[in-house]
């Protein structure tokens, strides 16, 4: 007779779940790097910038920031009378309202073409190519474009010569400098929109298209009444994301034209950057507070309008 | 089905024309960087180099300290990748799996930081860096982005999807939070960490404005800053500029070609979630 001796299971070790308070303490240690950095490098500077905008602070006051004088809203009043600032605001508006539809339109066109059922490998290849400018250093791109647009040696004017057109000095001409930068920006940015829209297109159920086709909807009708409505949330995301980015455009004119000729490519951010460069901290603070407010207001407005419809 | 085939041909043609327009400037720049300076300025231009030369690159590395700038860019990017991988996943873990007072407010700060335009905080940031004596130092360039809101957001999204049971089981076994994080959570985060690492490297490598403000001598210049100095000289020859442009683009191109699925995943998750 076999005796089954079975040892009683050992009592489990007492469970020590840490108290919620203790866990909260540990959690705060985990998020500490972010919180400290946010407070010191983002929230603090944001508030300091707004505070500076009501003073006459200049770069020479950095050693003793408390010695500056309060000037109320003088900096804001000065902004409205400043021709360069007004030009910068106008350029920024022109830039956003032209570069935005161009970028979204090109991105949508590329996404729709890539989604027509072409083979996987060529599709991946095209996607890669279109996305490349998006992840390339602005300075690398600026060099390439300045070279292309060079009045004598540049490829663009050489090609125009072939058809008998004398191309302008694109970046040194008041009429063509900003449009050149707009085209370059759309060229550079549409790949991002394409990738996001393509992912959204691929998630539209096939049945929707098939049902519409059964109902006799043609290609264009299906695009308008199936594809576009399904893309609405993602199009809204792209619009908000791109316009917030375009409102701040700075590096493009900085490295291509330095805002010239005659301020024709000066952007709001570049004007602020220039004021910062010459040491007008209070004035630059006022301009950046205005820019920040406009960007936030624009994003909120777009989200409101986009959701309502 | 010749109609579909014809449609496919049209689609391919359209895509190919688009690709030529997108890749053209890069190709033109790359080919030009391999031509001698005289040939670059020749009228009519040559597309394919008649004389192949690496002379532009040699001159670039000898005359301008591009080698130092390249090493600086690489060092800064690698340090930022390391800090972001560690901190973003730690912060993301706390937001995803720990419960604590003030969590929603703290997470709101992540979104607030995402929304603050760089130019708005740049001046006060610079004043702060100056007060701390960090102007013209690597640490001054690195510090504001050692942990980024986008990275925190991405890691939180991913870690939220991991099953709670894993963590509960470890807690019952008496494991401490730091141990749970390092031995259970982190090993499961391979794919998002790869994406985050790439995005961080890219952002740092291409970052221009902040390094341009902080770096003030050649020994601290990053590649885009050094290239922009070259770009600013009226007398600069295009041969050096196009070669410099190739030096700044090539590493990204290589990374992108080999690791593109991580890029695309990253954009899709941050863009759509």
Q: Give the CATH fold of the A83-308 domain.
A: MetI-like fold (1.10.3720)
Residues B13 and B111 in one domain: no
> B119 and B71 in one domain?
yes
Count of structural domains, chain B: 2
Nearest to B117 among A118, A153, A248 (CB): A248
Sign of CA dihedral A162, A166, A171, A174: negative
pLDDT score at B100? 85
* Residue B14: DSSP 8-state: H
B137 touches chain A (CB under 8 A): no
pLDDT in tens, B222-255: 999 998 888 877 566 788 888 988 999 999 888 8
**Which pTM was predicted?**
0.85
Nearest-CA distance from B202 to chain A in Å?
7
B248 vs A139: CB contact, 8 Å cut-off? Answer: yes
Mean pLDDT of A94-109: 94
Nearest CB to A113; choose among B11, B205, B246: B11
Domain membership flag for residue B95: yes
Least confident of A232-241, B144-153, B214-223, B260-269: B260-269
Instruction: Write the pLDDT tens digit of every residue in A110-120.
Output: 998 888 877 77
What CATH code is carried by the domain that includes residue B104? 1.10.3720.10
pLDDT of A7:
59
Beta carbons of B22 and A133 less than 8 Å apart: yes
CB contact under 8 A, A110 and B152: no
A140 contacts B119? CB cut-off 8 A? no
Question: Do B83 and B19 fall within a single domain?
Answer: no
Q: Do residues B124 and B235 both lie within one domain?
A: yes
State the smallest CA–CA distance between residue A109 and chain B in angstroms.
10
* Among candidates A23, A31, A141 on the partner chain, residue whose Cβ is nearest the Cβ of B99: A23
- Using 50, 70 and 90 to split pLDDT, how confident is the model at A19? low
pLDDT of residue A62: 72
DSSP state of B133: T
pLDDT in tens, B154-163: 899 889 888 8
Kindly state whether B190 is in contact with chain A, defined as any CB-CB distance less than 8 angstroms: no
Q: Name the closest residue on chain A to residue B25, using Cα atoms.
A: A144
* Same domain as B168, residue B51: no
Rounded CA-CA distance B219/B203 in Å is 21
Over residues B208-221, mean pLDDT: 92
A175-180: long-range pairs with CB below 8 Å, 24+: A175/A264, A177/A257, A177/A260, A177/A261, A177/A264, A177/A265, A178/A91, A178/A94, A178/A95, A178/A264, A178/A265, A179/A98, A180/A145, A180/A149, A180/A256
Same domain (yes/no): B146, B206? yes
Residues B38, B69: one domain?
no
Q: Do both B40 and B119 map to the same domain? A: no
Convert the pLDDT of each residue in B110-129 to its tens digit: 988 888 888 889 989 998 99
- Lowest pLDDT segment from A13-22, A184-193, A223-232, B138-147: A13-22
Considering the domain architecture, whether residues B152 and B230 belong to the same structural domain is answered as yes
What pLDDT, on a 0 to 100 scale, did the predictor assign at position A17? Answer: 55
Task: Identify the three-state secondary structure at position B42.
Answer: coil
Q: Are residues B45 and B150 in the same domain?
A: no
Whether A46 sits inside 8 A of B87 (CB atoms) is no
Cβ within 8 Å, pair B115-A296? yes
Q: Is the pLDDT of residue B73 over 90?
A: yes
Q: How close does chain A come to B246, measured CA to CA in Å?
A: 7
Please give the Cα distance from B125 to B141 (Å, whole number): 11
Domain boundaries, chain A: 83-308
The pLDDT of A16-37, averaged and rounded, is 80
Q: Is the domain of B134 the same as that of B239? A: yes
pLDDT of residue A18: 57
How far is it, in rounded angstroms, from Cα A31 to Cα A165?
61
The number of angstroms, rounded, from the C-alpha of A92 to the middle of its chain's C-alpha atoms is 14
Pair B209, B188 in one domain: yes
Q: Is residue B60 part of a domain?
A: no
Phi-psi label, residue A255: left if phi above 0, alpha if psi -120 to 50, beta otherwise: alpha
Mutate one of B12, B96, B121 to test the A interface: name it (highest A CB count within 10 A). B121
Where in the sequence is the domain holding B176, given as residue range(s)?
Answer: 65-272
């Amino acid at each position: 007779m076999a005796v089954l001796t079975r040892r009683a299971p050992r009592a489990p070790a007492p469970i020590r779940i840490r108290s919620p308070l203790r866990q909260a303490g540990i959690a705060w240690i985990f998020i500490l790097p972010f919180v400290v950095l946010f407070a010191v490098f983002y929230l603090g500077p944001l508030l300091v910038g707004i505070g500076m905008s009501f003073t006459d602070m200049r770069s020479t006051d950095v050693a003793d920031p408390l010695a500056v004088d309060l000037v109320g809203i003088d900096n804001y009043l000065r902004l409205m009378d400043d021709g360069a600032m007004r030009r910068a605001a106008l350029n920024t508006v022109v830039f956003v309202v032209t570069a935005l539809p161009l970028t979204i339109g090109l991105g949508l066109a590329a996404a729709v073409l890539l989604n027509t059922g072409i083979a996987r490998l060529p599709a991946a290849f095209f996607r890669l190519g279109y996305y490349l400018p998006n992840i390339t250093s602005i300075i690398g791109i600026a060099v390439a474009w300045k070279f292309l647009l060079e009045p004598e040696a540049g490829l663009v004017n050489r090609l125009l010569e072939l058809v008998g057109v004398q191309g302008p000095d694109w970046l040194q001409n008041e009429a063509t400098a900003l449009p050149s930068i707009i085209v370059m920006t759309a060229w550079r940015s549409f790949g991002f929109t394409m990738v996001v829209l393509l992912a959204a297109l691929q998630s539209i159920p096939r049945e929707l298209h098939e049902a519409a086709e059964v109902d006799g909807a043609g290609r264009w009708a299906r695009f308008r009444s199936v594809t576009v409505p399904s893309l609405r949330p993602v199009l809204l995301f792209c619009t908000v994301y791109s316009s917030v980015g375009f409102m701040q455009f700075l590096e493009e004119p900085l490295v291509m034209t330095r805002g010239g000729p005659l301020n024709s490519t000066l952007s709001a951010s570049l004007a602020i950057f220039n004021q910062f460069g010459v040491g007008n901290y209070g004035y630059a603070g006022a301009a950046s507070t205005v820019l920040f407010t406009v960007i936030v207001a624009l994003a909120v407005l777009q989200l409101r309008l986009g959701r309502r419809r | 089905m010749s109609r579909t085939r014809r449609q496919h041909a049209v689609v391919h043609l359209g895509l190919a024309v688009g690709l030529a327009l997108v890749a053209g400037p890069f190709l033109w720049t790359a080919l030009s960087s391999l031509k001698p300076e005289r040939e670059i300025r020749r009228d009519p231009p040559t597309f394919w180099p008649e004389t192949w030369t690496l002379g532009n690159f040699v001159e670039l590395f000898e005359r301008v300290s591009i080698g130092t700038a390249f090493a600086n860019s690489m060092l800064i990017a690698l340090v930022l990748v390391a800090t972001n991988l560690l901190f973003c996943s730690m912060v993301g873990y706390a937001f995803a799996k720990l419960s604590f007072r003030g969590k929603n407010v703290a997470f709101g700060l992540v979104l607030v930081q995402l929304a603050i335009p760089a130019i708005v905080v740049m001046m006060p940031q610079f004043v702060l860096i100056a007060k701390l004596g960090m102007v013209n130092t690597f640490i001054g360039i690195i510090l504001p982005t050692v942990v980024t809101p986008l990275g925190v957001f991405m890691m939180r999204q991913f870690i939220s999807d991991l099953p709670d049971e894993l963590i509960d089981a470890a807690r019952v076994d008496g494991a401490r939070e730091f141990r749970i994080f390092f031995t259970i959570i982190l090993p499961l985060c391979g794919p998002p960490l790869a994406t985050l690492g790439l995005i961080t490297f890219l952002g740092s490598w291409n970052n221009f404005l902040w390094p341009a403000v902080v770096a003030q001598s050649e020994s601290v210049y990053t590649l885009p800053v050094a290239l922009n100095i070259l770009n600013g000289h009226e007398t600069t020859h295009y041969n050096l500029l196009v070669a410099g442009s190739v030096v700044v683009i090539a590493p990204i191109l290589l990374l992108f070609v080999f690791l593109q699925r991580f890029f695309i995943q990253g954009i899709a998750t941050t863009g759509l979630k």
